[in-house]
Structure 1
């Protein structure tokens, strides 16, 4: 008896799916994929790396303050943050902090969590996070905006931190004080990320208004203008891959696309019991499920 594959002809020829996978995809090639908000937020972070030195050749400040004070940068930082990526990283860090197999690394990881909280609180306040001791800064932090759900969560963490230093609490009181701190941090982070997400919903409009205002320090106005002009030139450069593909298909291969044609089919109907007649109005839609992208496929009666 022949097997289920008997009679099939198999070869290594290129299939239609293989052709689609190997086709040029110009939309995936970009000279610079950053948004305008990411370009603006980049300024303060990069300015932190450019330091001043005093007459004794010792670091004495940096350029971050030149940009961080501009409201445009504050809105840009809110828009530029990748919340899903941040949430994943924080979830992994919380899991590692709870891991009983590596107690020696727990203090380092908790300090990273506290520094992350301070960083996110600064972004929520549209302020430059800066550096420094995360534990000390979190103890003293005061929220600027109106965040009813966030204030009590932050107050609980600050009150808990006031009972012990991080080193002492982890060394002598982890089972009680330390585990409670981790739970409070997790609750605070959940509410903090939600608050930033709500702030981002309004940050786009705030960014545009801030850019268009004339209230900018000279250095901030200069960089804002540069970022906007750079974004315009980048858009021109990013059109090159599409133009190259169009040239290749149209001029080299002499292939020209056809206008899309609507699909058509015939439908058959089964008369319902005891039905004498039925009519289908012109334009009535019949669902055929969804396509690979989840969009509905409908056929209209002609």
Structure 2
């Protein structure tokens, strides 16, 4: 797929946002006692930190912060929501790597949590990250109106649960035994990968108290780039190596798992990615120049090499 070179300011903005989220996560995952709080078990906190503070592009938090910026929302509440979303994303990776799931030894070039610790610690670390995310959003420290925090909690629960990411994961596991058709693959991917990305974009509109029309527009943008993310991921599973990806590749083919890439081939997938980028850019047109970085995010997702 022919692409334009990403503007350097996008790469810079992504890195700046990533660092701000990492600083927030480091504070949130501090294992010291604060204000008389019950002691956080050292081993559990270490496993949680291993699963979260291990690099990564922090794309989902970036989307939360950039989408909220469209509506001139306060940065600090948006940052806390972004950090909470990253906790859920990282929990999903910790559990996804478990022997009962994808059984991976590497994540972002480092041992997965169950390899660095053990399976029990990995399960509990994931459980803790999931529940902590909702505590972060619901807390009064996230300085948003209670009704806004409630909307965010409800939307995040839908995106993460049985009708979203968790439901998509079980469909993905079933796909190793019984290959779904194209419609089934699209539903699976919209749930497993797309739901959290859609939330990341929709969350900005909720935080910014946007109109229902703008909220839906950003949700549709999130759905488009969510599908692009999964298509690019499946493409990389076929074309990339483990060193560049920081995790094992070729696992879908080895498991006999059906993907849109396996159904239609590399050329078709690249064409679809191009179309999804155009769709995403069109959805953002009403926001004008304020949405420039979000437009570049769509291209970044489609063109990523890791």
Tell me which interval the TM-score lies in, with the shorter structure as reference length.
under 0.3
Higher strand share: 1
Name the larger-Rg structure: 1
Q: TM-score, normalised by structure 2?
A: 0.22
